[in-house]
């Protein structure tokens, strides 16, 4: 039986087309992916992402646990800052990507993980916890709305005393929203637009009242509810990885364009030895972005990537029609010798092959 977020009744009322995703019944679209995508790129849109997981880590050795499981260096975080990172298995394969938040109290962190991975990730974190640290799964009590787009600040500023323009990327503050206290405003969006992720405890705040207040405030800007479909097209235009597609237990950070978050000089962490070995050996394949040369062709997850002679050189990890560009875009793993920007590769679409050009994301320049 699929779980429901606290906004489920609203999704039904708004005509959301509901599908099962990450164990939840979630809206894939309302008025349509193109309408919702355009709302976020040009105005403001709201996503219910309450299916995501939140783990609260506290105790004298909370940082030690976070450092042990994370490839990035969380010791650089100060209160009010967040960091993109991932967790790896001993062999360097990716457990999940996540965001680490350093809270305003000492020795307190929040890990935000992918909704489909909550149980697996919690078991993994607990299995690694040999530290004086306590891990609490807050996922079921936490509501999360992503308010994204150029008009997101104007919309939310009507509802809070915080100066939202002062919250930089990957920073967060706590304040009031529509009269409710202890709301987290986090500038950690997944769309490439200005925006905030709004976290609150459903036991202390009325989710429906918050939703209604945001939509009332955004009405003059053409605010739209947005589903998983637009979330995918928006993130792919920016080249942001999706767990299960672009990164999995069978991929490692160095081949997945995540070398920039992998800090070998920070001390020990799970998977470090395996990743150092892979770094010495060099990647045999690389995650690349590509744009289809003929706008009629749309790449999809799992399609083969071939060379001009038809030999398999890789596979599409994510693919879609870019609503902004009007042509097919994607990301996929290819043999290292085909990974250079500007190279021509070929995507096997049904019984034909279609040319594409290796292009470094983001596909749209902000």
Q: Walk me through the domains of the chain, giving residue ranges and CATH numbers.
A: 284-358 (2.40.30.110)
Task: Label residue 304 by pLDDT band (50, 70, 90).
Answer: very high
Q: Are the C-beta atoms of residues 287 and 333 closer than 8 Å to each other? A: yes
The residues facing 54 across adjacent strands are 112
Length of the chain: 366
Model pLDDT for residues 213-262, shown as the tens digit of each residue: 999 999 999 999 999 999 999 999 999 999 999 999 999 999 999 999 99
pTM: 0.97
Q: Please determine, for residue 312, whether its predicted confidence score (pLDDT) is greater than 90.
A: yes
Q: What's residue 174's pLDDT?
A: 97
Report residue 58 as tokens: 């506290």
Tens-digit pLDDT profile for residues 90-116? 999 999 999 999 999 999 999 999 999
Give CA–CA dist 113/115, Å, rounded. Answer: 6
Average pLDDT over residues 346-366: 95
In this model, does residue 366 exceed pLDDT 90? Answer: no
CB atoms within 10 A of CB 344: 13
Closest C-alpha to 90, from 69, 67, 121, 64? 69
In the predicted structure, residue 151 carries a pLDDT above the cut 90: yes
The pLDDT, as a whole number, for residue 365 is 86
Per-residue pLDDT, averaged over 151-169, amounts to 98
Phi, psi (deg, nearest 5) at residue 94: -85, 125
Nearest of 123, 125, 77 to residue 100 by alpha carbon: 77
Task: Give the integer Cα–Cα distance in Å for 247 and 128.
Answer: 21
Task: Judge contact between 353 and 347, C-beta under 8 A.
Answer: yes
Task: List CB contacts of 3: < 8 A, sequence separation 6 or more.
Answer: 23, 24, 25, 51
Identify the CA nearest to 363 among candidates 189, 190, 195, 236: 236
Q: What is the mean pLDDT of residues 272-280?
A: 98
Strand partners, 199: 144, 184
Distances (CA, A) of 153 to 19, 185, 210: 30, 11, 16
The per-residue b/e assignment along 170-189, b for 16 or more CB within 10 angstroms, e otherwise, is bbbbbbebbebeebbbbbbb
Taking only the tens place, the pLDDT of each residue in 222-235 is: 999 999 999 999 99
Q: What span, in angstroms and rounded, lies between the C-alpha atoms of 280 and 300?
A: 32
Round to whole Å and give the CA distance between 255 and 250. Answer: 11
- Mean pLDDT estimate for the chain: 97
Q: Report whether 140 contacts 149 (CB < 8 A).
A: no
Residue with the two structure tokens 């062709």: 297
Identify whether the C-beta of residue 53 lies closer than 8 Å to the C-beta of residue 47. no
Structural tokens at position 24: 């939840």
For 209-226, give one letter per residue: b (16+ CB within 10 A) or e. Answer: ebbebbbebbeebebbbb
Nearest to 66 by CA among 282, 266, 250: 266
Residue 234: left (phi > 0), alpha (psi -120 to 50), or beta? alpha
Query: Average pLDDT in the 26-49 region?
Result: 98
pLDDT at residue number 94: 98
């Amino acid at each position: 039986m699929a779980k429901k977020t606290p906004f489920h009744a609203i999704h039904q009322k708004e005509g959301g087309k509901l599908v099962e995703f990450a164990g939840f019944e979630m809206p894939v679209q309302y008025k349509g992916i193109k309408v919702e995508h355009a709302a976020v790129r040009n105005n403001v849109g709201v996503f219910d992402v309450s299916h995501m997981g939140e783990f609260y880590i506290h105790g004298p050795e909370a940082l030690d646990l976070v450092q042990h499981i994370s490839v990035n260096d969380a010791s650089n975080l100060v209160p009010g800052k967040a960091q993109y990172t991932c967790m790896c298995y001993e062999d360097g394969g990716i457990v999940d990507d996540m965001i680490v938040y350093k809270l305003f109290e000492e020795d307190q962190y929040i890990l935000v993980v992918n909704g489909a991975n909550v149980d697996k990730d919690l078991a993994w974190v607990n299995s690694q916890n040999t530290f004086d640290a306590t891990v609490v799964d807050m996922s079921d009590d936490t509501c999360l709305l992503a308010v994204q787009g150029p008009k997101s600040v104007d919309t939310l500023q009507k509802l809070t005393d915080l100066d939202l323009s002062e919250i930089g990327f990957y920073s967060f503050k706590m304040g009031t929203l529509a009269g409710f206290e202890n709301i987290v405003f986090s500038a950690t969006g997944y769309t490439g637009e200005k925006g905030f992720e709004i976290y609150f405890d459903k036991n202390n705040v009325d989710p429906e009242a918050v939703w209604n207040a945001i939509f009332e405030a955004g009405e003059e800007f053409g605010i739209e509810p947005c589903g998983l479909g637009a979330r995918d097209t928006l993130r792919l235009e920016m080249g942001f990885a999706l767990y299960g597609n672009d990164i999995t237990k069978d991929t490692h950070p160095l081949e997945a364009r995540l070398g920039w978050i992998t800090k070998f000089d920070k001390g020990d962490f799970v998977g470090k030895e395996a990743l150092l070995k892979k770094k010495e050996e060099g990647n045999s394949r690389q995650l690349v972005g590509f744009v289809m040369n003929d706008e009629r062709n749309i790449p999809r997850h799992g399609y083969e990537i071939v060379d001009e002679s038809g030999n398999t050189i890789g596979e599409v990890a994510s693919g879609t029609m870019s609503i902004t560009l009007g042509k097919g875009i994607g990301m996929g793993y290819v043999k290292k010798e085909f990974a250079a920007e500007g190279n021509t590769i070929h995507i096997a679409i049904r019984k034909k092959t279609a040319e594409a050009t290796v292009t470094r994301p983001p596909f749209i320049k902000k």
